[in-house]
């Protein structure tokens, strides 16, 4: 069996029809998971981005594919935890168990334009902690009550999700990693995929935990071009030195990428590398998916 591989079409970059065509291709090629859209408060596209609803886009992807798992990041304050749980339970049942519960604290940029309070990273982590506790309990069925700083529930209910979708937490630092260890099934290491960034997160977990990581990819680009795109589209990594970021990139001929991804799995203990195709047009993203195809399964009737 080929190693699992994911892909990301994040950043609110592509029109809906292009996202769905690429999702169908990833499904046919044997990719395990697809992530769509992202934290719109971190977006700087001059008003040109097609800002789709993340859960709605996930529903469309799941509807148009047969095997692929799909998720979009969910941030504290963007939706009520009861609605999140009900949406995940609905997606899980409708898709035959292919929904992903992907969560993060968010970049915290320009939240005021969405009516969100300006909170520190620690406060956003606390809000996400309460959210995840409620979502997991709601997905298990029964009534849920909570009296927290950010969340108050009185006998709230949701349809149960059987099996429950995996809860994935994107963590860039030790506090978020400890939150993932408490509340999540999977750690999404939101750092450049190099040892000196991943190991501190693992140390903070305090327990073994399945780890996924995104690897920024630029097909047929030079190292300089790929690094410039990485800095532009992932500004939250601005504090990392260039030589570290260069080691984190996939660039040049995509035919060479599977070997590099295999190295990353071994070096970093990664269960699911996610090839980040953010910012690419449809043709370039298609080129990368075809080059990386984990295994092309037979079509289902």
pLDDT in tens, 107-160: 665 566 667 777 788 899 999 999 999 999 999 998 999 999 999 999 999 999
CATH H-level, domain 6-292: superfamily: Luciferase-like domain (3.20.20.30)
Q: Distance between CA 209 and CA 179 in Å, rounded?
A: 12
Query: Which residue in this structure is represented by tokens 């809000």?
Result: 127
Q: What is the mean pLDDT of residues 15-21?
A: 96
Distance CA 101, CA 224 (A): 35
Among the listed residues 74, 13, 32, 3, the one whose alpha carbon sits nearest the alpha carbon of residue 277: 13
Looking up tokens 């719109």 gives 40
The tokens for 193 are 């995929």
Q: Report the alpha-carbon angle 215-211-213, nearest 5.
A: 10
- Of 78 and 296, the structure prediction assigns the larger pLDDT to 78
Q: Which residues contact 200 (CB under 8 A, 6 or more apart)?
A: 174
- Do the beta carbons of residue 23 and residue 289 sit within 8 Å? no
Asked if residue 189 lies in contact with residue 276, where contact means CB atoms within 8 angstroms, the answer is no
Average predicted confidence (pLDDT) for the chain: 91
- Average pLDDT value for residue range 203-231: 96
Query: DSSP alpha helices (H): ranges in the chain?
Result: 16-29, 54-64, 81-95, 121-139, 174-183, 195-205, 223-233, 242-247, 257-268, 282-292
User: Closest Cα partner for 127 from 199, 172, 185, 79?
Assistant: 79
Query: Is residue 53's pLDDT more than 80?
Result: yes
At how many degrees (to 10) do helices 282-292 and 257-268 cross?
70
Query: Which residue is listed with tokens 């029109």?
Result: 15
Model confidence, pTM: 0.93
Q: Residue 242 corresponds to which tokens in the numbers above?
A: 């260039």
Structural element, H or E, at residue 276: strand 272-276
Residue 70: helix, strand or coil by DSSP? strand
CB atoms within 10 A of CB 180: 27
Burial of 9 (0-12, 13-18, 19+ CB in 10 A): buried
Beta bridge partner(s), residue 275: 7, 215
pLDDT tens for 65-107 read 999 999 999 998 889 999 999 999 999 999 999 999 999 987 6
Measured CA to CA, the distance from residue 276 to residue 77 in angstroms comes to 25
Instruction: Identify the pLDDT of residue 112.
Output: 65
What is the pLDDT, as a whole number, of residue 12? 85
């Amino acid at each position: 069996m080929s190693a699992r591989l994911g892909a990301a079409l994040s950043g609110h970059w592509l029109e809906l029809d292009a996202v769905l065509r690429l999702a169908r291709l990833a499904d046919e090629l044997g990719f395990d998971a697809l992530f769509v859209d992202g934290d719109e408060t971190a977006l700087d596209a001059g008003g040109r981005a097609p800002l789709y609803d993340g859960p709605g886009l996930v529903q469309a992807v799941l509807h148009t594919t047969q095997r692929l798992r799909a998720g979009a990041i969910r941030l504290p304050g963007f939706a009520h935890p009861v609605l999140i749980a009900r949406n995940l339970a609905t997606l899980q049942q409708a898709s035959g168990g292919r929904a992903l519960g992907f969560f993060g604290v968010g970049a915290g940029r320009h939240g005021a334009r969405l009516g969100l309070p300006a909170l520190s990273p620690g406060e956003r982590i606390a809000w996400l902690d309460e959210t995840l506790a409620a979502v997991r309990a709601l997905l298990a069925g029964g009534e849920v009550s909570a009296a927290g700083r950010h969340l108050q529930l009185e006998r709230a209910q949701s349809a149960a999700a059987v099996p429950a979708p995996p809860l994935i937490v994107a963590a860039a630092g030790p506090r978020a990693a400890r939150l993932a260890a408490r509340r999540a099934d999977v750690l999404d290491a939101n750092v450049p995929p190099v040892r000196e960034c991943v190991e501190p997160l693992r140390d903070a977990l305090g327990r073994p935990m399945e780890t996924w990581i995104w690897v920024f990819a630029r097909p047929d680009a030079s190292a300089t071009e790929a690094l410039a795109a990485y800095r532009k589209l992932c500004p939250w990594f601005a504090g990392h030195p260039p030589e570290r970021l260069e080691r984190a990139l996939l660039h040049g001929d995509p035919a060479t990428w599977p070997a590099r991804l295999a190295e990353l799995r071994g070096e970093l203990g990664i269960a699911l590398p996610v090839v980040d195709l953010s910012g690419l047009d449809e043709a370039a993203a298609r080129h990368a998916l075809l080059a990386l195809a984990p295994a092309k399964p037979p079509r289902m009737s």
